Amino acid sequence: MSRRVVITGMGAVSPLGLDVASLWQGIVEARSAVGPTTLCPADDLDSRIAAEVPGFDPHQYMDRKDARRTDRFVHFAVAAAGEAMQSAGLTITAANAERVGTVIGSGIGGLGTLADSVTALNARGPGRVGPFVVPAMITNMASGQVSMMHNLQGPNFCVTSACATAAHAIGEAAEIIRRGWADAMVAGGSEAPITRIGIAAFASSKAISTRNDAPATASRPFDATREGFVLAEGGAVVVLESLEHALGRGAPILAELVGYGLSADAYHVTQPLPGGQGALRAMRTALQHAGLDPADIDYINAHGTSTPIGDIAETQAIKGLLGDRAPHVPVSSNKSQFGHLLGAAGSIEAIVTVLAIRNELLPATINLQTPDPQCDLDYVPNVPRPRRIDTALSNSFGFGGHNVSLVIRRYVA
């Protein structure tokens, strides 16, 4: 019999603030974290807005030498993992180190490090390319650095599946625990894509918003005037444990992760399968894994990127899952507030889902002003709403047709 998996700790570095408390306060206030881009020169770029992490200093979380040798996405992961482990009260000792592992993913990895190194190579020659470029930028280094800093000797790897990365990481970490290969896992995602090449590339593919004159309202999932997502950065990590392990050490149990579903569209590099059929299969699989029915779902934390095609496909998938209940089940997109964290989106949205359950509050989809006839569900427009939530779905869908759904439930002893 597989073991129950619970969430005992959470950490987040987000555009809404440097910890989980700040993240939730921003959700409660329905505040936008999108503004003009400051992390790189953007005057000549088509999109000059982003959701940046405010006031982040990596030296508060790691020593200067390690910070200098690692990319910004690694800094975010280290900070978020530290908060998550502290909140879980998880202390690593010689006795338990081999039973605690790490799965922290990134969709892109050290894009800033790579871009700076190419510039140095072209301008000043190969001698100006530093010896730490590769370990600074490769996507697995967030997981690797967290493992080294905390002596986590259990399973340790990286997931990279575009915008589904962090949800895959959490789901796979939970499966490791269910199989008995570890007692606890530190899992999530981290991303730092706000660079000139990152913005230019996404803008060239027509994926991101160019609402430069009104950044706070640029991310508008499910609105008829939406025209792309807003690029964001940050990291989010959860601590997962088997129920027995958590109870045995008196850990705080925040919620239970009861289901994990995944699928592939097998259709297109950026567009979802028409009708949202791939997303629907992921949600159905997650419910089957949890032993639940669609009637058990109280809330859906949507992928909701604010792209014209994606939001319609997800709406259609939700209708396919819920049937006649679809208009009555609240759905919301956190990306309306803090943009799209790409490889970290799934973990930060899972954390918001846990907080929504614990605080009995539905997060809002802000900037939803003009109804889209093809997006006709209850998206909790503009203002959070009190509501008891016992069981929720958190969706993450990525370029390449990667689909993940997590089922998170109020913990019942």
Q: What is the mean pLDDT of the chain?
A: 97
Asked if 343 and 105 touch (Cβ cutoff 8 Å), the reply is: yes
> Is there a single domain that holds both residue 372 and residue 239?
no
Nearest to 406 by CA among 322, 311, 298, 283: 283
Which residues contact residue 218 at a Cβ distance below 8 angstroms, ignoring those fewer than 6 apart? 34, 49, 209, 211, 230, 367
| End-of-domain residue from the set 248, 275, 296 | 248
Write down the pLDDT at residue 299: 98
Which residue's entry shows tokens 């040798």? 69
Write down the pLDDT at residue 247: 98
In whole angstroms, give the CA distance from residue 364 to residue 304.
12
Our answer to whether residue 375 is catalytic in this structure is: no
pLDDT at 68 over 90: yes
Per-residue pLDDT tens digits for 222-232: 999 999 999 99
Per-residue pLDDT tens digits for 249-298: 999 999 999 999 999 999 999 999 999 999 999 999 999 999 999 999 99
> Is there a single domain that holds both residue 242 and residue 284?
no
In whole angstroms, give the CA distance from residue 295 to residue 323.
10
Confidence of residue 342 (pLDDT cuts 50, 70, 90): very high
Neighbours of 244 (CB within 10 A): 12
> Is there a single domain that holds both residue 271 and residue 233?
no
Our answer to whether residue 75 is catalytic in this structure is: no
> Is there a single domain that holds both residue 56 and residue 202?
yes
> Is there a single domain that holds both residue 190 and residue 282?
no
Per-residue pLDDT tens digits for 136-165: 999 999 999 999 999 999 999 999 999 999
Number of structural domains found in the chain: 2
At 258, list the tokens.
């009861």
**369-394 mean pLDDT:** 98
Single out the catalytic residue among 75, 150, 168, 303.
303
Single out the catalytic residue among 75, 168, 245, 340.
340
Single out the catalytic residue among 150, 158, 163, 245.
163
Is 255 within the bounds of a domain? no
> Is there a single domain that holds both residue 135 and residue 108?
yes
Is 77 within the bounds of a domain? yes
CATH classification at residue 205: 3.40.47.10
Per-residue pLDDT tens digits for 26-46: 999 999 999 999 999 999 999
Neighbours of 254 (CB within 10 A): 23
In whole angstroms, give the CA distance from residue 277 to residue 264.
10
Which residue's entry shows tokens 């280290």? 78
Our answer to whether residue 402 is catalytic in this structure is: no
> Is there a single domain that holds both residue 318 and residue 383?
yes
Asked if 189 and 343 touch (Cβ cutoff 8 Å), the reply is: yes
Write down the pLDDT at residue 2: 77
Write down the pLDDT at residue 403: 98
Asked if 184 and 99 touch (Cβ cutoff 8 Å), the reply is: yes
Is 109 within the bounds of a domain? yes
> Is there a single domain that holds both residue 103 and residue 71?
yes
> Is there a single domain that holds both residue 235 and residue 267?
no
Write down the pLDDT at residue 292: 98
Neighbours of 41 (CB within 10 A): 10
> Is there a single domain that holds both residue 48 and residue 125?
yes
Which residues contact residue 76 at a Cβ distance below 8 angstroms, ignoring those fewer than 6 apart? 13, 53, 56, 142, 190, 191, 192, 233, 234, 235, 344
> Is there a single domain that holds both residue 243 and residue 336?
no
The parent domain of residue 311 ranges over: 260-409
